[in-house]
A and B are shown apart, each in its own frame.
Chain A
């Protein structure tokens, strides 16, 4: 146990948690926009896989990381459009549409991988870490927080950006209105469907980029089903957050920290059964909610909007 409690180890764990949280942040902030506008998207996992593949493929072919992110965003947008058409225009049950979208995305990404890359695991040169001047030189803290790649920094910037958009702009007001009371919003001249399309597609773009972080900003390779349930966890984190951006950050960091901690404990030879250790982040997320209340659900969440005819 002693070797766990030295600053190097502790900040090492924190540094790893900061990286591990990255895909959750992109995907969960995206989902947060969806849900605030009254749609929930269980298709995140499928969108992420499509994002992961398209980013990887484009980077593999062109070597340009910017194009990779762009490809993930575009593919995310297309997947988002499918979701929006089905859940907003066709007013389908959102949970099931999402599961369908996940089946589709996970399947199609594997199929494309088999067809275009012959199913061979390849690697690319991904985003490199950038040490931020001055801040990056602070002992321990610099390494833990200020020596990551650009995609990690952007992920954390999303939190204040999401906060500002949702709480300080007219657009944010409209989004929240559409999620809380679509009838009233409609009466005030806000196009419910337009806002929902915007949020579902925007959220899907972020989910696509979340997938890209796996294949070009962290592990730098592609393998089938590599997101391995991250998309579902990201959706769960939005509920954890009570629809507040900063609590998405809290949830993602908590979850990732416990994961990094248990891995470190295994490496240090602290004797806990590995499977029980793996359970910890999931258990802790549930236990936390017993003590921290999570309410404020958008009132019209999961309810398709039907304009009354009279």
Chain B
């Protein structure tokens, strides 16, 4: 009984720490808002209202949370394998481009064939974009931070090239506006919308399922066990006969495919075409999301919801009290720093618990 109570207390404690950190960051934001001459209460009310205050707000938050969740799952897998994937931005972009290209240029007019194939194409593209760093790390020991940073930039330029050249909407040339975007995808490739007129679509369900799949894969299968073993201790794994480079590359490839899928869903479910800035910083924010979720695929679900809410609410805050958008960026930065620093308290307690038995 007492041990149960204690474990409950410990769990609550662990859950409260990041919350406390977030609140502390928001509290710091009060002073910033005061300094900017804005009413902090009105501002935070807008933040909350914009994120969770109405049905539409919650749906917006979920739409935003979907790519964050997928990228976050990818980051979890990579992280558990001891590699950090900061190539999410590039992987989203190529995933988006690949699925759009497939949807636009493959003339099979069947939803049941096209949608799965489009999504698979986006995963494949993301896997390749994550695979290059993965294989370079496995074969040549090239650090993945280096390659993923470079691959991000390459993807942006590739996208600029395709969107203004080979893949540009022919209509844009005809009209002389030349906006860098693809044509609207054919309707049979659209993911089903769950709550029109919002863009909430079946992609969210797929993302949730994949969070479960990633959890099972990581914690209930041999592959997952090996990925985690490699992440925990590469040396020990090597002694145990696990092919360390292979599993590190695999972790990056799987991570890349998740981010690529985020791009595919963004295109088929939300935008219905590719335009500039399709990745919208989801690649970096997904890393933060994964951290909020303790680098656990299931934990990433509420984390994505919360972080998505902060972003959606931040925009509302900007609209309502007309505060500069940089305030939101700064505030999110402070929240991340506080949450990541606060982890030490739960780590310390769990260590103590381990020692005390």
Binding site for B on A (CB under 8 A): 40, 42, 46, 82, 85-86, 90-93, 95-97, 99-111, 113-115, 224, 229, 232-233, 235-237, 239-240, 273, 275-276, 278-279, 282-283, 285-286, 289-290, 293-295, 297
Question: How far apart sit A92 and B150, CA to CA, in the bound complex (Å)?
Answer: 25
In the complex, which residues of chain B have a beta carbon less than 8 angstroms from the beta carbon of A290? 136, 140, 142
Is B65 close to A, CB under 8 A?
no
Question: How far apart sit A147 and B32, CA to CA, in the bound complex (Å)?
Answer: 44
Instruction: Report which of A115, A239, A293 forms a contact with B145, defined as CB distance below 8 A.
Output: A239
Question: How far apart sit A229 and B343, CA to CA, in the bound complex (Å)?
Answer: 28
| In contact, B341 and A107 (Cβ under 8 angstroms) | no
Count of A-B residue pairs with CB < 8 Å = 157
Instruction: Report which of B153, B157, B287 forms a contact with A99, defined as CB distance below 8 A.
Output: B287
| In contact, A240 and B284 (Cβ under 8 angstroms) | no
Chain B 56-89: CB-based contact to A (< 8 A → 1; otherwise 0): 0000000000000000000000000000101000
Chain B 29-54: CB-based contact to A (< 8 A → 1; otherwise 0): 00010011000000000000000000
- The answer to whether residues A279 and B140 also contact, given A96-B287, A96-B291, A236-B146 and a CB cut-off of 8 A, is no
| In contact, B291 and A93 (Cβ under 8 angstroms) | yes
Question: How far apart sit A104 and B338, CA to CA, in the bound complex (Å)?
Answer: 11
B216 to chain A, nearest CB (A): 25
Quick one: closest A residue to B36, CB to CB?
A115
B29 to chain A, nearest CB (A): 11
- Interface segment among B104-112, B201-209, B223-231, B320-328: the answer is B320-328
| In contact, B340 and A92 (Cβ under 8 angstroms) | yes
Question: How far apart sit A113 and B341, CA to CA, in the bound complex (Å)?
Answer: 28
B31 to chain A, nearest CB (A): 13
Question: How far apart sit A78 and B146, CA to CA, in the bound complex (Å)?
Answer: 26
| In contact, A104 and B334 (Cβ under 8 angstroms) | yes
| In contact, A100 and B142 (Cβ under 8 angstroms) | no
In the complex, which residues of chain A have a beta carbon less than 8 angstroms from the beta carbon of B99? none
Quick one: closest A residue to B328, CB to CB?
A107
Quick one: closest A residue to B82, CB to CB?
A302
Quick one: closest B residue to A114, CB to CB?
B324
Quick one: closest A residue to B37, CB to CB?
A115
Quick one: closest A residue to B330, CB to CB?
A107
Instruction: Report which of A42, A91, A102, A229 forms a contact with B344, defined as CB distance below 8 A.
Output: A91
| In contact, B332 and A103 (Cβ under 8 angstroms) | yes
| In contact, A100 and B141 (Cβ under 8 angstroms) | no
| In contact, B146 and A107 (Cβ under 8 angstroms) | no
| In contact, B288 and A239 (Cβ under 8 angstroms) | no
Instruction: Report which of B161, B284, B287 forms a contact with A273, defined as CB distance below 8 A.
Output: B161
B147 to chain A, nearest CB (A): 6
- Residue contacts A-B, CB under 8 angstroms, 10 given: A99-B86, A107-B328, A111-B36, A114-B324, A239-B142, A275-B157, A279-B157, A282-B154, A289-B142, A290-B142
- Give how many B residues have a beta carbon under 8 Å from the other chain's beta carbons: 49
Is B24 close to A, CB under 8 A?
no
| In contact, B341 and A92 (Cβ under 8 angstroms) | yes
| In contact, B143 and A294 (Cβ under 8 angstroms) | yes
B281 to chain A, nearest CB (A): 9
Binding site for A on B (CB under 8 A): 32, 35-36, 84, 86, 132, 136, 140-143, 145-147, 149-154, 157-158, 160-161, 164-165, 284, 287-288, 291, 324, 326-337, 340-344, 347
| In contact, A95 and B329 (Cβ under 8 angstroms) | no
In the complex, which residues of chain B have a beta carbon less than 8 angstroms from the beta carbon of A109? 326
| In contact, A95 and B136 (Cβ under 8 angstroms) | no
Instruction: Report which of B158, B333, B343 forms a contact with A275, defined as CB distance below 8 A.
Output: B158
| Among all A-B residue pairs, the 3 with the closest Cβ atoms | A104-B333, A107-B329, A100-B336
| In contact, B333 and A285 (Cβ under 8 angstroms) | no
Quick one: closest B residue to A111, CB to CB?
B326
A248 to chain B, nearest CB (A): 13
Quick one: closest B residue to A279, CB to CB?
B157
In the complex, which residues of chain A have a beta carbon less than 8 angstroms from the beta carbon of B332? 103, 107
B236 to chain A, nearest CB (A): 15
| In contact, A273 and B165 (Cβ under 8 angstroms) | yes
| In contact, A240 and B146 (Cβ under 8 angstroms) | yes
Question: How far apart sit A82 and B288, CA to CA, in the bound complex (Å)?
Answer: 18
B318 to chain A, nearest CB (A): 12
| In contact, B149 and A235 (Cβ under 8 angstroms) | yes
Question: How far apart sit A97 and B336, CA to CA, in the bound complex (Å)?
Answer: 7
- The answer to whether residues A233 and B142 also contact, given A90-B341, A275-B157 and a CB cut-off of 8 A, is no
Question: How far apart sit A114 and B332, CA to CA, in the bound complex (Å)?
Answer: 18
In the complex, which residues of chain B have a beta carbon less than 8 angstroms from the beta carbon of A96? 287-288, 291, 336, 340
In the complex, which residues of chain A have a beta carbon less than 8 angstroms from the beta carbon of B288? 96, 99-100
In the complex, which residues of chain B have a beta carbon less than 8 angstroms from the beta carbon of A95? 84, 86, 145, 287
| In contact, A111 and B324 (Cβ under 8 angstroms) | yes
In the complex, which residues of chain A have a beta carbon less than 8 angstroms from the beta carbon of B84? 95
| In contact, A108 and B330 (Cβ under 8 angstroms) | yes
B157 to chain A, nearest CB (A): 4
| In contact, A293 and B344 (Cβ under 8 angstroms) | no
Question: How far apart sit A295 and B347, CA to CA, in the bound complex (Å)?
Answer: 31
Quick one: closest B residue to A112, CB to CB?
B326
Question: How far apart sit A25 and B343, CA to CA, in the bound complex (Å)?
Answer: 33
Question: How far apart sit A90 and B288, CA to CA, in the bound complex (Å)?
Answer: 17
In this complex, the member of B324, B340, B342 whose beta carbon has the largest number of chain A beta carbons within 10 angstroms is: B340
In the complex, which residues of chain B have a beta carbon less than 8 angstroms from the beta carbon of A233? 149, 153
- The answer to whether residues A236 and B150 also contact, given A111-B327, A114-B326 and a CB cut-off of 8 A, is yes
| In contact, A293 and B140 (Cβ under 8 angstroms) | yes
In this complex, the member of B32, B142, B143 whose beta carbon has the largest number of chain A beta carbons within 10 angstroms is: B143
A56 to chain B, nearest CB (A): 16
